[in-house]
Structure 1
């Protein structure tokens, strides 16, 4: 007897490739001109950012924008 609805087993076609290590993730891809993003969050809730000195980050090799 099969269970239907809530609690029923969901058959997904992608599971096998991820379990066996054959899955393809966006982090595994490298495309020409591809960039990466990093976000820095404030440790202070509702704080107002009054300025950012991006000069050190922009001077680093490979940094396109801050």
Structure 2
């Protein structure tokens, strides 16, 4: 019974750590995109990402 409780606690702890790592990764990704938004448009090989959901952010305002 004690061994089962320890295993259950270890499994819960492992799942919490996995979840925390996912959250940390998303926070780091958000910070990197804030400091260097142009990097969001490239994949890990340096090629232009073909993600249709990626939005281009620009500070240039075009006058009509």
TM-score (normalised: structure 2): 0.25
More relative contact order, 1 or 2 (CA 8 Å, 6+ apart): 2
Bigger-Rg structure (1/2): 1
Instruction: Give the helix-richer structure, 1 or 2.
Output: 2
